[in-house]
Amino acid sequence: MAVTMGSGSTLAFAVAGAALVLIVLGYALHPLWRARPRLGIGLAASLALATAALYLGLGTPRALKPEQRRAPQTLAEAVTQLESELQRDPNQIEGWRLLASAYTAQGLAVKARDAYARALKLAPDNPDLLAEAAEARALATRERRFDQEAMRMLEHALQQQPMHQRARWFLGIAQRQGERPADAAKTWEPLLAVVQPGTAAGLLEQINGARKDAGLEPLSPPAPATADAAAAGPGLKVRVELAPALKARLPAGASVFVLARQDGGPPMPVAVEKHPAGSFPLEVTLDDGDSPMPTMKLSQLPKVQVLARVSASGNAIPQQGDLASAPQTVATGGADTVVVTIDRVVE
């Protein structure tokens, strides 16, 4: 069951989280942004979606539980409460990550760097955290440059997850900053096979710019994908039903979110679709094209948790009063339709 807080303050966190990604990229990638704005916008949008997805199903840190203290009304109040909770119990990885994100949104780059460092001590092999911590180190410098420690973090992230897109992209930028264009091109080239076509075109320009500076021949654009090759990986068929007892509570104009997330992993979805909650049952197919996170796809996981939620506001952030199903753990390679029933109210 999701832990909730005042919807305004939760929404403030989600909006701040998505906004800080754009702020981060605007500073850290400034030289490349000016040269290739379309690529920068595409990557920023992908990362903003990934950040917002953190709040889908996450709930609220224990410091913000209503039964523990008054729900914060502003981001500053939430930061103060979270700081107090982390002083009491510093072994909360997501608490440090959330605090670092809030510091970044407030323009406190050094505090954000240090908060990420605290989180990294608790999870030194987490590739997402390594990329975030490296990025924070760059933002905390006057020149917005990745130092040797940040590069070490990015390289370690790629050792853990070789196709971690954010770490690979940032490492290439660090290599370009260090006047190593051949290394940057080599680091970026594998991304061409996994990013969306619109992003790939801009990325190819960056790669060929680096190759030119290194005295290498440019790469040719990839051949257009066939219908089969462009398929978004294996699909997971899901049938969403609504319990009869909740039909009267179905809000007018509501939205239903159908999502899959890692089994036993973080709450961010690896695939999610949003549909009008007009009629049930609803049948959807989740696949790699539904991933809000460029670094994790449905087809990469042997099994996932599947669930559905009805939101009266149409907001991806879980809120009190939403209607939800229990998560079901299923194998991603199965051909059978997964049936989930929305039969409870989020409190």
List the one residue out of 153, 154, 212 whose CA is nearest residue 185.
212
pTM score of the predicted model: 0.51
Q: What is the pLDDT along the chain (347 residues), one digit of tens a residue?
A: 333 333 444 444 444 444 444 444 444 444 444 444 445 445 444 444 444 444 443 344 444 444 445 666 787 888 898 999 999 999 999 999 999 988 988 889 999 999 999 999 999 999 999 999 999 999 999 888 999 999 999 999 999 988 888 999 999 999 999 999 999 999 999 888 777 666 778 888 899 999 999 999 998 876 554 444 344 556 899 999 999 999 888 888 888 999 998 887 666 688 888 888 878 999 999 988 887 665 567 888 889 999 999 988 776 667 778 899 999 999 987 788 999 999 999 87
Task: Answer yes or no: are the C-beta atoms of 281 and 241 closer than 8 Å.
Answer: yes
Q: Which amino acid is at 309?
A: R
Q: Which amino acid is at 339?
A: V
Structure tokens at 189: 């080239």
Report how far residue 242's alpha carbon sits from residue 99's, in angstroms, rounded to the nearest whole number. 37
Task: Determine how many CB atoms are found less than 10 A away from the CB of residue 87.
Answer: 8
Task: Answer yes or no: are the C-beta atoms of 161 and 295 closer than 8 Å.
Answer: yes
Instruction: Using alpha carbons, list the distances in angstroms from residue 60 to 3, 10, 12, 72, 156.
Output: 6, 8, 12, 12, 30
Instruction: Using alpha carbons, list the distances in angstroms from residue 293 to 184, 270, 289, 297, 307.
Output: 23, 7, 10, 7, 18
pLDDT digit string, tens, across residues 171-207: 999 999 999 999 999 999 988 877 766 677 888 889 9
Task: Determine how many CB atoms are found less than 10 A away from the CB of residue 303.
Answer: 15
Report how far residue 286's alpha carbon sits from residue 300's, in angstroms, rounded to the nearest whole number. 13
